[in-house]
Amino acid sequence: MHKLYLSTAIAIVSFTTACASDTTQVKLKPLQPEEHHQIAFQTSLQFVASYHYAKPTINDSFSTRAFDEYIQNLDPSRVYFLDSDLRNFEQYRYQIDDYVFNGNVEPAFTIFNTYQQRLNDRIQYSLAYLNKGIAFNRTDSFQVDRERAQWCRNVNELNALWEQKLTYECLLLKVNGKDTNSTETIKKRYLNLLKFAGKTKSEDVFQLYMNAILETTDPHTNYFSPRTAEDFNQSMSLSLEGIGAQLQTENEYTKIREIIKGGPADKSKKLFAGDKIIGVAQGKDSDVVNVVDWRIDDVVSLIRGKKGTSVRLQIIPASEPNTTKYIDLVRDKIMLEDQSAKSAVKTIDVDGKKVTLGVITLPTFYIDFAAQQRGDRNYKSTTRDVKKLIEELKSSKVDGIVIDLRNNGGGSLQEAIELTGLFMSTGPVVQVRNADGTVSVKNDYDKDIFYNGPLTVLVNRFSASASEIFAAAIQDYGRGVVLGERTFGKGTVQNMVDLNEFIQYNGKKLGQVKLTIAKFYRITGGSTQHKGVTPDIEFPSIYAADKFGEDASKYALPWDSIPSATYATSLNVSSNLLNQLKVKHKQRMQASAEYGYLLEDIALFEKADNEQYVTLNEGKLQTETNQEADAKKAREQQRKKNNKEGVDLILEESAWVIRQLN
């Protein structure tokens, strides 16, 4: 699930700035491919064609998908290229597959250099337009979602579009009262964009191009330039210091893709998936640097810092797209200890009776391989830690145990298998189908059942990979009840390939390819890929499936099935009991005020997500923003009055299920 998103492109320019007049003298510096790019291009595509799980055919169909993806990654909001540019680029649509034979990557740079020229033109036009002053009494609207908009036919149309865009950007700051001189702030945004644009290298262009090509095979197959590969390997060691959030690019914004359990962002309870980062400051007293339109790795560089230092983020909340907020966080390391399983005893009132739960929260499936290999008898692992926690919970005489896998993005496959074994006797847990078609069944061989009492598993949209394997096994064996939202749907296996291990070229580092080589299947035969795991007791999610999860990629590998493994179901949760629970759950939710609030939240997110146009009239936008703020405040007050603010509805329903299982 931990995919690196590097789809924002930036032009490279050399420039000098005369601050007094805010004019920028720009000398374009077109980029050219480096000699080793030819070898990296050919070798990467050969690996994909030969070893990728789907064995994609490198043909004209493959070429046209890669072409469209590259254009989309360069200009996702269609605010730089002209229609005439696209017509000119069409000559390359069916040529990318042919260029594999001779390693020709020139088209990538030809297209990028055109983009570079257009970006520079737009920045110059923006600075000139902002110098004239912005009128905030317009009667038109700006189309904020332009992914499927028409390309502008000429410069006049592009100018008109950018006048709307600049007005919207200034208005968003002005209406929220965060900026007394929004025009100057937006000017700084574009000057900073120009400054960081100058840092782009040919290696960055090549990586962008390669990812446009490789990600058409599936969203988890990526190319890592030498620099990015080093960053990725470092991040996998859990030693990076930052805020604990995975980022991705959406149009011109850097968006929160996932909050990492145990990190500063998670502990703050102020930053959520879907929020957009538009500014970063080093502490409370430093100026906020606007990062709209920035490369994602440059944004990460600003956010990352030494443990104990503070960073201020300016964000657009996902639930309030017409507002901006500031969030202060203190950077910290997310170490193995922060990701360890933790338990708590919670007593919840269910229909007038107390139910005592033993809740085990599992942020990831981990194992300290280094300690295990050096013979440390006390090495940490998910299964070993959870066994200790279960022993403690047994002594507390809990009515049942809850395994909370919400926001658990996966980790060690073996730990998912062994953890499943704590709750069942020996048997298959997951099946793995390799690229060559062979299927291996992964079993738990421990006959002992460590805990046989009432069990529930909690999942959400960000439960993925190993989490889905565990939840699916518990569900298929009828060992417990799964509650929550449909999971992520990441049912594929990747392997990192260092290109230099297979080919050497003048001492140059060629980068790495992360390649999808296998798929996971449930013991029933159905894949966890794409569909994920549908809970027995399902709750709707505020995160749209087509925006978060495997559904978000049009190139995700499809769901399919293989023959079932041989296994015997448990007697803990029968299909008849499950059907009864589902009927009663629906009745309970109809009478639940908190469930009504959840549906309201979902409606607000859907409204924000589907918003196509925003008014450019200050008075009208201010009224709309105030009305939304007043409605939110009134609802929060009502929830406080009901003493239900912040209630964990899914955990409460889990307590009800535990009571039914006893």
Catalytic residues: 465, 476, 490
Helices (H) and strands (E) in the chain, counts: 19, 23
**The token pair that represents 641 in the structure block:** 């009055």
CB count, 10 Å around CB of 337? 10
Our CA dihedral for 71, 214, 490, 339, rounded to 10 degrees, sits at -90
Distance CA 386, CA 365 (A): 11
Element (H, E) at 294: none
Q: How far apart are CA 319 and CA 602, in angstroms?
A: 9
Could you tell me which residues come within 8 angstroms of residue 92 by beta carbon, excluding any fewer than 6 positions away?
Answer: 67, 107, 110, 111
Q: Which residues, in sequence order, are bridge partners of residue 357?
A: 346, 400
Alpha carbons 543 and 318: distance in angstroms, whole number: 10
Q: Helix, strand, coil shares of the chain as percentages rounded to 5?
A: 40, 20, 40
At 210 the three-state DSSP class reads helix
Segments of 80-211 assigned E as strands: 137-143
CA of 339: how far to CAs of 38, 131, 334, 457, in Å? Answer: 41, 50, 7, 18
Distance, CA of 477 to CA of 443 (rounded, Å): 13
Query: Alpha-carbon Rg of the chain, whole angstroms?
Result: 26
Bridge partners of 497, per DSSP, are 513
The Cβ of residue 339 has, within 10 Å, a number of other Cβ atoms equal to: 22
**H or E segment and range at residue 153:** none
Closest CA to 615 of 281, 202, 321, 295: 321
Determine the Cα–Cα distance for residues 232 and 224; give it in Å rounded to an integer: 8
In the block, tokens 């700084």 appear at 188
Token pair recorded at residue 334: 């997310």
